[in-house]
């Protein structure tokens, strides 16, 4: 028989501890976000549809993005038991410097349209976390202001080759003068991809007011207040900002970009140079043989060529062909610290996050970017501890299996011709 008694008030008070009410709405929202997916939900509520869809969407049917994310879900970890990893070292040496975490912030365009703090929030958060921040050619904060926001940290610059080459050369010179240590030469955007969400939303720079945008703005007055009461958007390179994103890219970028352009930029740039947007083994080998400092396996977050190769699937094949000493980085589809751990285990020296950073930015400005980094940091540390590794250098391919969902169709066997027909 269970012994019964009347509840004792002191004991009840010990059991019922009421959580302190957080009056800061932004802090309250961000504390409740436990994953990047949670930040995405907050971002979607707080950001006008056109701006959110520009971040969230990809090209055409968005198959490349969906497949990239699925590839990270389709992995199996193989932990070692009885190997204590009470403390883990998440730091890495990358491109001549230190990063406290095995990821940096990827270049993103039109960032202040997502949330008015834009690249300043990203650069400051990256500096505080000890990771690199990459400014896009199509960024909405100047090279010099990004440097001011992250004066003691590592700043990288992503460069497009423009139709007017002198614009690109001038940007590279400004970035070098501002102390940016790495240039990310981007090769996957000779023309703009077909980003259908943007077309359907009528997304343009600057935003155009229509009946639908006004209706969409009603439950998000804070976004419009911030947009209308902060300095006018400034782009790192474009002198004109009218039109859709695709129109801007097509008018500015040059589809004739070639290895000659890479050679010119290498002759001008004093720091490390990385080629971003590599999507096959042959190009990876050719670039490493030509002496670039690193490559980024990337399909531009699925925003250019739909049905492009999955960077995470390509990673182990490239590492096997070019060697483990080459600096191979990867992006596209990373939404969890476990994705980053798996990438490092399969040979990536570093990873880049784009949408994950922007979801945090839209959810809460600088504090939201800090929350993104904190979430990923905790996931990385926990995954490493559960695998039984204390440092990134202990991660090996044996820790990860890529499960097969999409596999190439075997070539059909040659059709046998009857002897009589051949005679």
Tell which wins on pLDDT, 45 or 217.
45
Q: What is the mean pLDDT of residues 413-422?
A: 54
| Number of structural domains the chain divides into | 1
Q: Is pLDDT above 50 for 266?
A: yes
Is residue 108 in a domain?
A: yes
Q: Tell me the C-alpha distance between 217 and 223, whole Å.
A: 8
Task: Please give the structure tokens belonging to residue 16.
Answer: 């019922």
Is residue 4 in a domain?
A: no
Task: Please give the structure tokens belonging to residue 198.
Answer: 């943007």
Q: What is the mean pLDDT of residues 324-338?
A: 96
Instruction: Give CA torsion, residues 63, 69, 73, 74, to 10 deg.
Output: 40
Return the sign of the alpha-carbon dihedral for residues 394, 391, 96, 377: positive
The three-state secondary structure class of 77 is strand
Let me know: does 210 contact 165? Beta carbons within 8 Å.
Answer: no
Task: Please give the structure tokens belonging to residue 341.
Answer: 């751990």
CB contact burial 33-61 (16+ within 10 A = b; e otherwise): beebebbbebbbebbbbbbbbbbbbbbbe
Is residue 420 in a domain?
A: no
Q: Tell me the C-alpha distance between 378 and 382, whole Å.
A: 6
- Alpha carbon separation from 226 to 41, 113, 115 (Å, rounded): 20, 10, 8
CATH number for the domain spanning 330: value is 3.20.20.70
Q: Tell me the C-alpha distance between 329 and 184, whole Å.
A: 11
Q: Is pLDDT above 90 for 23?
A: no
Q: Tell me the C-alpha distance between 355 and 219, whole Å.
A: 23
- Whether residue 206 is preceded by a cis peptide bond, meaning omega within 30 degrees of 0, is yes
Q: Tell me the C-alpha distance between 166 and 171, whole Å.
A: 9
What are the pLDDT digits (tens) for 71-121? Answer: 999 999 999 998 888 899 999 999 999 999 999 999 999 899 899 999 999
Q: Tell me the C-alpha distance between 36 and 94, whole Å.
A: 25
Q: Tell me the C-alpha distance between 53 and 37, whole Å.
A: 15
Is residue 89 in a domain?
A: yes
Q: What is the mean pLDDT of residues 37-66?
A: 94
Task: Please give the structure tokens belonging to residue 25.
Answer: 């709405």
Tell which wins on pLDDT, 414 or 17.
17
**How many other C-beta atoms lie within 10 A of the C-beta of residue 206?**
11
Q: Tell me the C-alpha distance between 389 and 79, whole Å.
A: 9
Is residue 21 in a domain?
A: no
Q: What is the mean pLDDT of residues 5-33?
A: 81
The three-state secondary structure class of 134 is strand
Is residue 27 in a domain?
A: no
Q: What is the pLDDT of residue 416?
A: 60
Which residues are catalytically annotated? 300
Let me know: does 371 contact 39? Beta carbons within 8 Å.
Answer: yes
Is residue 17 in a domain?
A: no
Q: Is pLDDT above 70 for 302?
A: yes
Q: Tell me the C-alpha distance between 50 and 69, whole Å.
A: 22
Q: What is the mean pLDDT of residues 129-149?
A: 95
What are the pLDDT digits (tens) for 191-248? Answer: 888 888 988 887 766 666 566 766 777 788 888 888 888 888 777 666 655 566 666 7
300 closest CA partner among 197, 182, 188, 183: 188
Mean pLDDT across the chain, nearest whole number?
90
Q: Is pLDDT above 50 for 423?
A: no
- Alpha carbon separation from 149 to 107, 117, 118, 126, 372 (Å, rounded): 16, 11, 11, 10, 18
Let me know: does 203 contact 54? Beta carbons within 8 Å.
Answer: yes
Looking at the chain, the whole-number percentage of residues with pLDDT higher than 70 is 91
Is residue 143 in a domain?
A: yes
Q: How many residues does the chain have?
A: 423
Q: Tell me the C-alpha distance between 143 and 140, whole Å.
A: 10
Element (H, E) at 3: none
CA angle 379, 383, 388 (to 5 degrees): 150
Q: Which domain holds residue 89?
A: 38-402
Q: Hey, which of 10-19, 224-233, 295-304 has the most confident mean pLDDT?
A: 295-304
């Amino acid at each position: 028989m269970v012994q019964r008694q009347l509840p004792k008030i002191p004991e009840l008070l010990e059991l019922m501890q009421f959580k302190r009410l957080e009056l800061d709405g932004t802090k309250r929202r961000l504390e409740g976000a436990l994953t990047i997916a949670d930040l995405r939900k907050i971002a979607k509520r707080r950001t006008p549809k056109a701006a959110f869809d520009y971040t969230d969407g990809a090209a055409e049917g968005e198959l490349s993005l969906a497949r990239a994310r699925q590839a990270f879900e389709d992995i199996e970890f193989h932990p070692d038991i009885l190997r204590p990893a009470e403390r883990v070292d998440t730091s890495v040496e990358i491109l001549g410097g230190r990063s406290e975490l095995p990821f940096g912030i990827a270049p993103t365009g039109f960032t202040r349209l997502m949330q008015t703090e834009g690249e300043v929030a990203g650069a400051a958060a990256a500096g505080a976390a000890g990771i690199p921040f990459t400014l896009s050619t199509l960024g909405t904060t100047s090279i010099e202001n990004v440097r001011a926001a992250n004066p003691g940290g590592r700043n990288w610059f992503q460069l497009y080759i423009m139709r007017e080459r002198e614009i690109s050369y001038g940007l590279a010179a400004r970035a070098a003068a501002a102390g940016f240590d790495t240039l990310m030469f981007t090769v996957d955007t000779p023309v703009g991809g077909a980003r259908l969400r943007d077309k359907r939303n009528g997304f343009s720079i600057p935003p155009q007011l229509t009946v639908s945008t006004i209706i969409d703005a009603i439950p998000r007055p804070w976004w419009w207040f911030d947009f209308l009461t902060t300095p006018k958007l400034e782009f790192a390179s474009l002198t004109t900002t009218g039109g859709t994103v695709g129109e801007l890219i097509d008018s500015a970028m040059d589809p004739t970009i070639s290895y000659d352009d890479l050679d010119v930029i290498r002759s001008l740039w004093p720091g490390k140079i990385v080629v971003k947007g590599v999507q096959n083994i042959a190009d990876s080998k050719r670039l490493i043989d030509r002496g670039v400092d690193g490559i980024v396996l990337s399909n531009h977050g699925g925003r250019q060529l739909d049905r492009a190769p999955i960077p995470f699937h390509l990673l182990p094949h490239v590492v096997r062909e070019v060697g483990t000493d080459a600096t191979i980085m990867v992006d596209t589809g990373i939404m969890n610290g476990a994705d980053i751990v798996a990438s490092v285990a399969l040979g990536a020296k570093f990873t880049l996050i784009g949408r994950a950073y922007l979801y945090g930015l839209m959810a809460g400005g600088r504090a939201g970017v800090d929350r993104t980094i904190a979430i990923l940091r905790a996931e990385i540390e926990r995954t490493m501890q559960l695998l039984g590794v204390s440092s990134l250098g202990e991660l090996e391919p044996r820790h990860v299996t890529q499960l097969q969902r999409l596999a190439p169709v075997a070539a059909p066997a040659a059709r046998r011709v009857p002897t009589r027909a051949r005679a």
